[in-house]
Structure 1
């Protein structure tokens, strides 16, 4: 394990920029559906005859290309959006069909019912299971027994992949992420939209210079609820005022925040951000896995980012997924235990034992944190306690 003390925390930089693509953004929907399908399949494997997570990767989900026209108070559906679940998935075990098309379709529909609640499967959106078993490895996706699933007994790094995580979130990151979360009601078993007239394809962008944070939030109104341009502008002003109050609370005096909502909606050439069903997949836009938020739910170009997108990949052995979760857990644990900002880097060469990682790098700010031996002992203890795949088979809505 390598320890360095050369990190400059992002909150100490003179400028910081952070973005979050909201839950209804096409790319975030693709990430979420891929993850939902992977977790549903993994649970089915663990609960059924295999008793172990079989080979699969559905990390190429495509979503989009619908067509809906809208006007004040109404909309018209011309073409449904499509969810195409691309990738590979084990279709059988010991000759028994696993029903993977049903698993894919049901998992995608459940996810859409939460994060794209105005869409109706079979009407405004179509789900197309498309996972194959094409491979040059015999029985890799049609195992006759667990002998054909060597990863179940001896997990190995499936790829040479680098994953990195950071803790804690900077004040800017906290405001940007939580501001989008504030558009949801988290009081029940699953989140629900907080406002009945607001869509889910939200993007929040923060630009900080010194202590001043400018936040731009693009928030769609649902066209059926908007009677006129004047009504649109009035609702946006009210929404901007409410989000400004939330942002001030989130900043907690650490930053001076100015929040703007849909700033291009006045003056010559204004453009209203209205959607019929809440996501731009309805007007031809498209989303694919890996183009959006990192595992922590943010896009921060000033922080190093993992080389792998974890969404839809096998939680039992895929390096880019397991190390992504492990790196974040270690970063959180180090911060909580020692009260320091840190970054954690993990990698292993392809084919090496998955756990523990072959290479571990912990980066701290100069002069901060525990001694090298104390930190090494703590990190090794936390890595030894990490469980795969149990820890990963938890739906984390607040991603």
Structure 2
């Protein structure tokens, strides 16, 4: 099969040479930032669980978290939550090894609760947040990638890049 991969240089002015740089910065409490932080925490917790049990990180991808806002009655200096925030953890993970079922759902929920508690100190995550975990078993071809001796990626994972942040 012929490969159709093309890499081209960026033909634009370097960011440091531009007069204006537009940057969007969302705070830790913004739902997008919370979803990203929760997803990352879940991945880290699953990775720790896999390393502790099997001395290696097994297949998982938890890069999507859905947050549905709850209800509240705010008032100066306080207020109350009238309906809980709903957080849905989704993705794929290795859910069992050699017939042994892994506690991936509880691990994921615990990680999500810990993260939310760390950024929202006045929110009672056990009372004011409802966590749901619909993480399922990963496809067999992706699980096999982690069984290889060398580092591989499947056809949806071409490459990863990083450029340093600008001075802003």
Give the TM-score taking structure 1 as reference length. Answer: 0.37
Greater CA radius of gyration, 1 or 2? 1
SS at match of 2:36: helix
- Residue 126 of structure 1 pairs with residue 130 of structure 2: yes
Match of 2:25 among 16, 20, 28: 20
Give the TM-score taking structure 2 as reference length. Answer: 0.82
Match of 1:42 among 30, 43, 47: 47
SS at match of 1:29: helix
Q: What corresponds to 1:157 in structure 2?
A: 153
Cα 1:69–1:12 shift into 2, 3 Å: same
Residue 21 (structure 1) shift? 0.9
Aligned residues: 161
Residue 47 (structure 1) shift? 1.6
Distance in 2 (alpha carbons) for counterparts of 1:152 and 1:23: 37
Contact in 2 for aligned 1:85/1:130 (Cα 8 Å)? yes
Structure 2 stretches lacking a partner, 5+ long = 1-6
Cα 1:152–1:34 shift into 2, 3 Å: farther
Show the 5 A alignment for 1:184-199.
Answer: none
Deviation readout 1:127-153 (Å, 9 max, x if unpaired): 112101264x38x66xxxxxx555442
Contact in 2 for aligned 1:68/1:75 (Cα 8 Å)? yes
Distance in 1 (alpha carbons) for counterparts of 2:149 and 2:98: 17
Distance in 1 (alpha carbons) for counterparts of 2:80 and 2:137: 39
* Cα-Cα RMSD: 2.6
Residue 45 (structure 1) shift? 0.8
Cα 1:131–1:152 shift into 2, 3 Å: same
SS at match of 1:82: strand
Cα 1:40–1:21 shift into 2, 3 Å: same
Q: What corresponds to 1:59 in structure 2?
A: 63
Structure 1 stretches lacking a partner, 5+ long = 142-147, 174-399
Cα 1:96–1:15 shift into 2, 3 Å: same
SS at match of 1:155: coil
